[in-house]
Structure 1
Amino acid sequence: MPLPAQSQENLNSHPAVPALSAAQRSNLFPLTAAGYAWWRQRSLRALGADYTLEREARLFRARCSPRAGQRWLDVGTSAGFYAGVLARAGCEVLAVDISAPMLREGARREPDARIDWAQLNMERSDLPTGAFDGVTVGATLNETRGPAALLRECARVLRPGGQLWLMYLRRTGGPLQALFERPAAGGLNFPDPAWVQRQLPGLTRTDALAVGAVQFERYVAGAASSERETL
């Protein structure tokens, strides 16, 4: 499902889509994209969660069980971490990001024919409704200016029974979060898990795990309520 590339500056031209945050704009630079995989490998430990990418990948595979023939959407793919995990499981993947340099870096690091790369803002995507078996969102929720809109779009594109996997920094009320919420310091947002759950009324949260300030969650479209508090 390859999509045509869009200008980085017109991805938010629709009045319903907020302007890019400072954190999002920083991702438009080639230097940021070149160093992102290095940061992603170390970011959870730096944020107080002793979790490697290998453990994160195992956790995701154990709870979501991606398999060959499924169609997944990787939102805010950056350097393609989740896209690569999915492709190696045999899935067809549409990896989207607002940043052309990030997409080029992801395609360089994950040269798999099962991955299509597309420049797209998931706050208003125009992707077909019910088109995907699963959606992954790795930390993009913290950077977007419209987290509620992004979550609604992720839910909309899931087929009945489809899975949504989230990794994000949850609200702790700490001084560093207050600093990085300021527009000049990044304009990040740190959602509370209860708030996230309210934005997904048609999905059921089945799994939740807090590791330091990092939150991992799995939702299923139309599933009966049965949540595991530990993963």
Structure 2
Amino acid sequence: MSLNDFYMEWLMTIREVRKVENNPYTLDLATSLTRRLTNLKCSMAFKMALYMDPRFSYINSTLFAAEEKEQIQRFIVRTWERIKQLNAENNNESTVLSNTSDKIDEKDDLITEMFGGTLGAPSSSNSTFQQQVKAVELEERQPTSYNVWDHWVKRKTSHFELSAVAAVVMSMPATQSMVERAFSALALVLSPHRSTLGDDTLKNILLIKLNRDVYEQVMPKLYNWNDALPELSSTSFVN
């Protein structure tokens, strides 16, 4: 269960408890649940998950104060910087961009020489990203049944950085029980008879086993299965 869904379920639990009448523990239990949820929301990761969820964070929403929103926005930017740093370690992106920039500069110099004028300062990609982060709080409100995962998957092209951050946020477990289940699954998969499994194979098996709900959402969108594997077109995850 993601942080967002956990928050939603907790709110519904508080609501159901408050409905119980003629019970001396109703008020104390509802108060305790509300206090616990407030404490959980002190986590910046929790705040970031809720901020990127249009079911909770939308135009004129009172979920976060103005100062909290600014803190969350800075945290999102730092998270993207960390993601970008990790990705840069595995490729030579900086070299490619540098070579491309040199070619563009030569063309610009030629146009200036021929036709005069000056080249305007290019817009900062970081500045554009910060604008997108700020615009999240101006989203329209969505119903509780809204699929937040699909919301960010569909924006992968127009909001690449935010989509990458959302993928990390939506993958965060809400409780330690997820970690405990992972260790239990590991014990089942890595049995004495399968002790020679390679690290990559073991990792991939656990990835699917522990993310079955996400797996069923993602798999149909990875490929055009009807064209690639016609014989599987009748299976449930294709249709």
Which structure shows the higher strand fraction?
A: 1
Q: TM-score, normalised by structure 2?
A: 0.26
Larger radius of gyration: 2
Q: TM-score, normalised by structure 1?
A: 0.27
Higher RCO structure, 1 or 2 (CA under 8 Å, sep 6+): 2
Which structure shows the higher helix fraction?
A: 2
